[in-house]
Structure 1
C-alpha cells in the first residue's frame, strides 16, 4: 500500500461525507458516511443503492454467491469458466453484444471470479443506467448456452492457465499455490484456476445445471453507485429483475479448516524463475471477530508501507530483498471474502542469501512483536488502514464502494457495515493484539512455500 495524504484522498474520491462531532474534537476526529439504501425484491434479490453526484457516471455491479471455493468436485476451474460464459450471449444480446453495448455507450466493464463470489460490473454515463440494468437482468434470466460457446471458452480459459501459470516465471506464486498448501479442506485447497483435464471434461449439462443452481436472484446482490435518481433506479430494478423467478439454493458445504498445529513447509521447483522466493502464510481469525480486526492492523504494522516492520528488517536493515509484498486475501482485500483465509507475505531474494537467513529475520520481527505493541502503534496502524480503506472505496470511479456494498450484502445481509469498519478497528486494544499474535502468528499456524529456481550451477536456497 502506498501512503497517501488523507486530504488528497478526500478531495479526489468525492465518495464520502465528513463532519466533526464537536469543536473539542475537530483536530482529532473525522467520520465518513457512505449513503446506503438496502432492500430486497420479492424474488430475494438484494439491492444496494448509493448515490454520489460528484461525477456524471454510474456503476452497476452484479455479484453472485458462488466462487472458487464451492465449485463442483472434478470440475476445478468451473466457476471461472462460467464467468467467461456469461459474456457469450443471453436472451436478447448475442455473442459479444453485451460488451459492445457497454463500450459503444462510452463505458467500461469487467468480471472476475473470487473465493466466494463471481462479479460483473459496468461503469457508464449516468444516462445509460436503465440500459445496463436491462442488460444485467437479461443475462440473469438466461444464457445462450451452446456447445460452440462452451468449446470456445474452454479454449480461452485453458490458454489463460498456460499463459498466467504454466509458462510464467513464478506462475501462480503465491496467490494460486499457497491456498493449496496451507489449507486441508478440498473446498479451500484445490486448484481453483482449473486442471486442464477438468476444464476439458465440462459439458453442456454441467453449464446448464450450474447456471440454474447459482445464477438466480435469490443468490445475488446488485449495487448501483453514482449519479442517479432513487425513484427511477428502484422502478427500473423492479421492472427488469422483479419477474425473474427464485430457485432452491443448495446448502453450502462445510468449508471450515481445522486448527493448524504444526508448521508446514513446501518447495516448488520453477525452471523459469531467476531468483529464489518464499511466501509465508498464517491462518486468519474468523471474520468480524476482535482478532480479525486486530489481524488487519497487524497487516498494516508488519507488511504495508515503507515503515512496516518486515519492510524495515528485510529491505532496509538486511538488504535481503527489494520489496515485501502481501496482505490479507491476495484476490481482493480483507473485507470481500467469506471463509478461511491467510495473512500472507512474499519476497524474492538473491541466490547469495539463504532461505534460513530470510526466515531468521522474519522470526526476529514476529517473535519480538508482542513486546513492542502499544496504543501508539495501534493508532498509527489505524491511520494507515483508514487511508487504504478510503483509497479502496474510491478506486475505479467508485467501484471499490460497489464491491464492498455487494460483498456485505451477500455475506452479512448488511451493506451498512461499510460505515462501521473504522469503529471496529478502533475497538482493538494492545491486549487484543497481543492475544492475536500469540494465537495466529505462532509458527505452528504458518505455512512456508519456497520457490527453487533450479539454477544451472545447482546453488541451494536453504
Structure 2
C-alpha cells in the first residue's frame, strides 16, 4: 500500500544518494503485478470476511546472526534483479534532543566513504554496474537500498557491510554535509512557498511529545552544533548490526546469499543499545487551530490531522479502510465533495504517514489531508464539508458492506502494486519494517486476513472515536505573496 509522496518532499527522503540517482530512480515507481491482475474482485453481496484466504504468498526466510543483525530473504525470479536493503532503527523522532535533524544529517554521512570505498565511490559502484540506489530518513528508521543486476548481489552485500563496519567519519566530511543539509533547509523549506506544509509543520502542531513534535529536518543552530564526537557516537550506537535489518529480494539462491551474508556481516560486532524513547501521545480532547504566515504563498491552504488508532489494533485496520473511502483516489468522498461538487480546490490529497505508507512506522501517527483554495473560499466552509462527509460514516448504516468491499479492493490493489514490483523495493520495505518493528516479517502474508476481519460496524465506531472534531488539528496557511 505504497502512497506516493503527497507533498514535494523527495529532496528530503531521497538524501545524498538520491540527489545523484534521481534520474534513474525508477525503483520508487511500482508496477502492477500478475498477482493483482489475477486477484478475484470482491462481490457486492459478500463481506470481505467471507472471502477465501489469498493464495498468493510471499517467500519469507527470516533469521538472526549471532551479532544481532536481522536478515530477511525473499527470492523472486520475476526479473534478473536483486535488491539489497539495510534498515537502521533510528529515524526522525528518536534522534537525540538538542540535535534536531541529526538522523537526516547522518544519512548524508553514509555516502562519504568507508574502510574500502572512498567518498562517493559507493554510488559509483552501483551505477557503473547498471544499478540504482537511494537512501531516506523516515519517522522510525533510516534506510539504504540498491537494485542491481542479479549477478552483482555479492558486490552489494560486501559494500553495505563495508560501511556498516566502519564509516569514514572526518571533520571535513561532517562540515561538508552540514553545509549540504543546511542548504536543503533553506532552498526547500525556508525559501519555498508552502515549504514544509503540511508534512513537516503538522506534527509540530498536532503532537505534544517532543519526539513526535520537533523539527525533524533540523534547526540550523542544531545542525551547526553537531560535533565530530557526536557523529562518531551516533554511528557506533545506532548503526550497529543489532539495531538493523538486512533484506534481500530478487533473483538469487538463498543458500549462496546466506554464505555471503555470513562472510561479510557476521564479523561486525554489536553494540549495547540505549533504552527506547517514550513516544506516547496524550488523548486529544479539544480541536486545535493554528495559522502560519507564508510570505511566498499566493493562495490559502488548509491541512487537517487526526490522531490514528494504535498500530496493529482492529481500529488501525479499520482506519486504513476509512482512508481509502475518504481520501484515496478521485472516487474518494472528499475529492468528490470538495473538487467535483463544490469546486473548492483542484485537488485534495493526504493519507496515513506522509513520510512513507500505512505500515512502515512504529509510533503514534496522524491521518492527514491538505488542499490549497481560492481567497473566496472560507476555511470554515472546507472544514464544514469535511465534517459532513465524516458524519455520514458515523451514522448507523453509514458504512455499508458494498462500501467496505470497495475499500478492501482499493487496499488490495495498492498493496499488490507495492509488493509486486519487479524492482523489489516495495517488498523489501515492508519486510524490513515488519522485522524492525514486529520481529515478524511474515506479517506481510497476513495483512489481508486482518482487513477481512473489519466490519462496517467497526469502521463506524472507529470514525466516531478517531474522526471526531475534538481529535482534530487544523493548520491554515495565510498567503502574504501578491497574486
Counting only pairs closer than 5 Å after superposition, residues 277-292 of structure 1 correspond to structure 2 as: 277-292=301-316
- Structure 2: 5+ residue stretches without partners: 4-28, 41-45
- What residue in structure 2 maps to residue 67 of structure 1? 91
Q: 1:194 to 1:2 in 2, by over 3 A?
A: closer
Structure 2 residue 396 is matched with structure 1 residue 378: no
User: Contact between 1:68 and 1:114, CA under 8 Å: does it hold in 2?
Assistant: yes
Residue 394 of structure 1: how far off its partner (Å): 3.2
User: Contact between 1:33 and 1:419, CA under 8 Å: does it hold in 2?
Assistant: yes
User: Contact between 2:78 and 2:422, CA under 8 Å: does it hold in 1?
Assistant: no
Equivalent of residue 327 in structure 1, options 324, 348, 351: 351
1:128 and 1:13 map into 2 onto residues whose CA distance is 24
Deviations 1:139-181 (A, max 9, x none): 0001110000000000110111111101111000000000000
Counting only pairs closer than 5 Å after superposition, residues 412-431 of structure 1 correspond to structure 2 as: 412-431=438-457
User: Contact between 1:16 and 1:34, CA under 8 Å: does it hold in 2?
Assistant: no
1:229 and 1:101 map into 2 onto residues whose CA distance is 23
User: Contact between 1:277 and 1:346, CA under 8 Å: does it hold in 2?
Assistant: yes
Larger relative CO (CA 8 A, sep 6+): 1 or 2? Answer: 2
Structure 2 residue 322 is matched with structure 1 residue 302: no
- What residue in structure 2 maps to residue 96 of structure 1? 120
Residue 349 of structure 1: how far off its partner (Å): 0.6
Deviations 1:398-439 (A, max 9, x none): 200000000000000000000111111110011211111111
- What residue in structure 2 maps to residue 357 of structure 1? 381
- Residue 62 of structure 1 aligns to a residue in which SS? strand
Structure 2 residue 33 is matched with structure 1 residue 13: yes
Residue 10 of structure 1: how far off its partner (Å): 12
How many matched pairs? 447
Residue 91 of structure 1: how far off its partner (Å): 0.7
Q: 1:455 to 1:154 in 2, by over 3 A?
A: closer
User: Contact between 2:150 and 2:251, CA under 8 Å: does it hold in 1?
Assistant: yes
TM-score (ref. length: structure 1): 0.93
Q: 1:357 to 1:16 in 2, by over 3 A?
A: closer
- What residue in structure 2 maps to residue 270 of structure 1? 294
Deviations 1:107-160 (A, max 9, x none): 111100000000000000000000000000000001110000000000110111
- What residue in structure 1 maps to residue 478 of structure 2? 452
Q: 1:2 to 1:62 in 2, by over 3 A?
A: closer
- Residue 262 of structure 1 aligns to a residue in which SS? coil
Deviations 1:241-278 (A, max 9, x none): 00111110000111110000110010111111121010
Q: 1:396 to 1:345 in 2, by over 3 A?
A: farther
Q: 1:16 to 1:34 in 2, by over 3 A?
A: farther
User: Contact between 2:36 and 2:417, CA under 8 Å: does it hold in 1?
Assistant: no
User: Contact between 2:299 and 2:372, CA under 8 Å: does it hold in 1?
Assistant: yes
User: Contact between 1:15 and 1:34, CA under 8 Å: does it hold in 2?
Assistant: no
Residue 392 of structure 1: how far off its partner (Å): 1.8
- What residue in structure 1 maps to residue 103 of structure 2? 79
Q: 1:17 to 1:309 in 2, by over 3 A?
A: closer
2:38 and 2:349 map into 1 onto residues whose CA distance is 32
Q: 1:222 to 1:134 in 2, by over 3 A?
A: same
Structure 2 residue 266 is matched with structure 1 residue 242: yes
Residue 370 of structure 1: how far off its partner (Å): 1.8
- Structure 1: 5+ residue stretches without partners: 4-8, 458-462
- With 259-268 and 394-403 compared, the bigger mean Cα shift is at 394-403
- Residue 246 of structure 2 aligns to a residue in which SS? strand
Structure 2 residue 459 is matched with structure 1 residue 433: yes
Residue 218 of structure 1: how far off its partner (Å): 0.5
- What residue in structure 2 maps to residue 393 of structure 1? 419
TM-score (ref. length: structure 2): 0.89
User: Contact between 1:10 and 1:16, CA under 8 Å: does it hold in 2?
Assistant: no
- What residue in structure 2 maps to residue 460 of structure 1? none
User: Contact between 2:2 and 2:426, CA under 8 Å: does it hold in 1?
Assistant: no
1:385 and 1:284 map into 2 onto residues whose CA distance is 18
Structure 2 residue 424 is matched with structure 1 residue 367: no
CA RMSD of aligned residues (A): 2.1
- Residue 208 of structure 2 aligns to a residue in which SS? coil
2:376 and 2:440 map into 1 onto residues whose CA distance is 51
- What residue in structure 2 maps to residue 6 of structure 1? none
1:92 and 1:232 map into 2 onto residues whose CA distance is 23
